[in-house]
Every structure is written in C-alpha cells, then in structure tokens.
Amino acid sequence: MAKAYWVATYRAIRNPEAMAAYAKVSRPAIEAAGGRVLARGMPAAAFEHGQMERVVLIEFDSVASAKAAYESAAYKAAHDLLGDEVDRDIRIVEAAE
C-alpha cells in the first residue's frame, strides 16, 4: 500500500490567535490518526506560479488513513477553531511507487 501525503497551503491567515489555537489541537489529533508532520513553515523558494505561503506536509500510511484523519472527530474539533480566519488548500496525494 502506498503512503499518502496531506499537503496544506495557507493563502491567508487573518487571525494568528485562531491559527495558534488550531495548531495546538490539530497536531495531536493528526498524530493520533497516524499522521507524521514532515515539514511546516514558509517555503525556502517558490518557482513558476508558486506562492510564498505557509505549507504543511504530513505523511500517512495510506490515502484512506489520511482521509480518515481529516474526517475524524478530533480533527474536526481542531478545524472548528479556525472558523473563517484562514484561507487554505488541503490536498491528499498518493506517493509514487
């Protein structure tokens, strides 16, 4: 079974306090669901149409486990802390074999 990666990019963070509250609760929820945070922060470089915006890369054992983490009650509770205070894009990508 191929690993999967949850890639999140943050286009706007309007409320840093909401983001901090989310970060405090989301990481334990993601790790409890089997996720491993591999990278987080601002890009070292961006090319072509890339944006200099916050990126988080999380590894899971499978696409199914990545989806289950996003849909879990613990992650939903963390997500609710963001409200409408961030604009982001989350994608789940299966690893190449």
What's residue 30's pLDDT?
Answer: 97
Residue 97 has pLDDT above 90, yes or no: no
Looking at domain 4-94, its CATH class is: alpha beta
Residue 54 has pLDDT above 90, yes or no: yes
Average pLDDT over all residues of the chain:
96
Structure confidence by residue, pLDDT tens digits, 77-88: 999 999 999 999
Domain residue ranges in the chain: 4-94
Q: Tell me how far apart the alpha carbons of residues 20 and 6 are, in angstroms, rounded to a whole number.
A: 20
**Average pLDDT over every residue of 6-18:** 96
**Average pLDDT over every residue of 4-17:** 96
Nearest to 75 by CA among 23, 12, 40, 39: 23
Q: Which residues pair with 89 in a beta bridge?
A: 9
